[in-house]
Chain A
Amino acid sequence: MEATETMMGRGRDAIDMIVDADSFNEGTIGAKTFDDPEFGPGAVVGTAALNGETVTIIASDANAFNEKFPVVYAGIIGMEEGYKMAQAVYASLEADKAKPVAEKRPLVLIVDTPGNGPGKVEEIFGMNKATGAYQLALAEARLAGHPIVAMVIGRAISGAFLCHGLQADHIVSLDANFGTMIHVMPLTSVSRIIRKDLETLQELSKGNPVFAAGPRFFYALGGVEELVGTIEGMRPTIIEHIKAIRAAKAAGEAEKLGPWGRGQLGAEREGRKVRPEVIKLMNQEFAAVAEKYAPSR
């Protein structure tokens, strides 16, 4: 693979490349404004036009440093950042609450984050709640009809990708030659921790995408809907996916979207073959005893 340009650490540039020219209004979503520049500086939220349509943008700023919570830098999502992102989602829901499903504004998540805040204060106060709050808000917006597309431009690492990305309807990613990283851990670290030699793991990963790092493995598992081959391709790809998501929701096919939809995609692409078998068997086993658990009348 030839090394090409990278978008890593360039979340703000990516916003400008994706949305309509000069349309990004940072810090305002519907009636909600984010006025304090020192609040959650690692999270960039706002409203833009995309192909003429109003969209909410949520991204990470890799150059920001949170003075109050020094573990937040380089795109890490800290407590303030997680809750700020959740507020951005709730503000989008609120702004469109009277609108029919077909007119709910899309949310575009620009993903380049290496992790959730890993500090002592974070554990004392509960970083797990901040990242969980944002995910629940995204799931609520997705189920309410807002199309959500995650665009991976750089790092989509482990819990941070769960937080910012994996609750989207569709996930698209710049291909591996842009240096995009999607993983829980690099294979070298996996090799050290599970004590299997790297060459063997590399060889095995050719046939099984389940532990190796990179967007192509996630594509095979159904964890990423589409790989994007050019930087210019980001904008039209996102527009295309918003359209497809709207169509699926209008057709009552929401089950084909989001994490559950990607589970089915993982089976179709033969990356996750056991998952559907387990589910099928459990359904049969429960159906056989369900009557026992219904109210007795």
Chain B
Amino acid sequence: MPKWNDLQEQSFLESDARARAVGLVDEGTYTELAGPFDRFYSPHLEVLGEAVEFDDGIVTAVGKIGKTPVFVISQEGRFIGGSVGEVGGAKMVNTIRLAIEFHDKLVADYPDISDEEKPVVVISFETGGVRLHESNAGLLAHAEVMDQLQKARHKVPVITLIGSKVGCFGGMGFVAAATDAIVMSEFGRLGLTGPEVIEQEMGKEEFDSSDRALVFRTTGGRHKYIMGDCNVLVHNTIGAFREAVAKLAVLPVSEFEKMRRIGSPEAVERQLRAVALAAEMQPQDARDVWVKAGNPDPVALTDIPLDEFLADVKRLSV
């Protein structure tokens, strides 16, 4: 593991799950839960003769940023695409559950507790969702995560980070959407249906999954920022993601409600206005929507440096 200071400058995109988890919290505060020395690998992969990993591809830990206890979940895309099975799913679910229980205990024990002393959950996604080798267990774990996200509402803020190679797709695409705040880099991708499946459904002339630029402007960080699906767009270093989390972590939980895209009748009405716009526009390309949002030169938006993009871009308002 590189030194903590070096991790801060390290590319988030290139970092493995543990480097991201360690670098996100303050130096020396990291405690891994169900870590590799516990050897909780997948018994189902073992039966199928598939390589196993001691942490089952999901790093779960607790650390601190300043005064805030931070429960971290970090997915490893290089291990079977960051897919979620029985063990990794249980680790994810129980990390959120532990954060909620800890919140309740702290509130009871410390009547004068401040917002920044209350726990948050941070999930660094890198996954296509369910692991097919244990698909049923993976699917059921997704439902458990959604349940815990709702149970965390108004208590423990849950912050999504997306900036790793695999992106965040499949069932985990809606898990991310259901969290309170979403931080992405421009290399992050968020969606439900992966590009290959869209091509399969619609034909190559409608959606060419090998067109990297097309894939990025449909699901990438800049697009999601314009759509309001990503709250904060940051540079591609662990330190930049950490800084974004640190700023969010001190806020009262009520502030997080304002950042949500879904989770209330009002949010659903707002999304339905966007869907009505989609029906009316029938966009052929994400750029059509960027123009609608007030960006007259959408092609330039892809190429300008990130800081310029953040200064110039108009975000869609419905």
Contacts and interface: CB of A to CB of B under 8 A. Distances in A.
Verify whether A and B have any Cβ pair under 8 Å. yes
B40 to A, nearest CB: 5
Interface string A245-256: 000000000000
Given A118-B198, A297-B110, A133 B268 contact: yes
A139 B136 contact: no
Contact of B98 (A90, A94, A218, A283): A283
Contacts of A122: 192-193
Given A116-B192, A124-B278, A139 B147 contact: yes
B263 A133 contact: yes
B265 A286 contact: no
Contact of B40 (A79, A86, A121, A281): A281
Contacts of B279: 68-69, 80
Interface in A109-138: 116, 118-133, 135-137
A184 interface: yes
Given A131-B174, A293-B62, A211 B133 contact: yes
A279 B94 contact: yes
Interface string A265-297: 010000010110111011101100110111101
Contact of B201 (A119, A183, A275): A119
A287 to B, nearest CB: 9
Could you say which interface size class chain A belongs to?
Answer: 35 or more
A294 B146 contact: no
A221 interface: yes
Interface stretch (B6-14, B175-183, B244-252, B294-302): B175-183
B36 interface: no
B62 A289 contact: yes
B187 to A, nearest CB: 17
Contacts of B86: 210, 272, 274-275
A158 B201 CA distance: 17
A128 B48 contact: no
A83 interface: yes
B113 interface: yes
B282 to A, nearest CB: 7
A286 B62 contact: yes
Interface residues of B, number: 95
Given A119-B198, A128-B173, A128-B191, A83 B275 contact: yes
B271 A130 contact: yes
Given A116-B192, A139-B146, A272-B140, A278 B40 contact: yes
A274 B136 contact: no
Contact of B140 (A128, A185, A223): A223
Interface string A141-153: 0010000000000
For the complex of A and B, list the 7 residue pairs with the smallest distance between their C-beta atoms, beginning with the closest: A139-B150, A132-B174, A166-B143, A184-B135, A133-B262, A128-B173, A293-B69
30 contacts: A87-B268, A116-B192, A118-B193, A119-B193, A119-B202, A120-B202, A123-B198, A124-B283, A126-B229, A133-B267, A133-B268, A136-B150, A158-B130, A158-B171, A184-B139, A194-B50, A208-B47, A221-B136, A221-B137, A222-B140, A259-B143, A259-B147, A262-B140, A275-B89, A278-B34, A278-B90, A282-B94, A286-B62, A292-B31, A295-B106
Interface of A: 68-69, 71, 79-80, 83, 86-87, 90, 94, 116, 118-133, 135-137, 139-140, 143, 158-159, 161-163, 166-167, 183-185, 190, 193-194, 196, 204, 208-212, 217-218, 221-223, 258-260, 262-263, 266, 272, 274-275, 277-279, 281-283, 285-286, 289-290, 292-295, 297
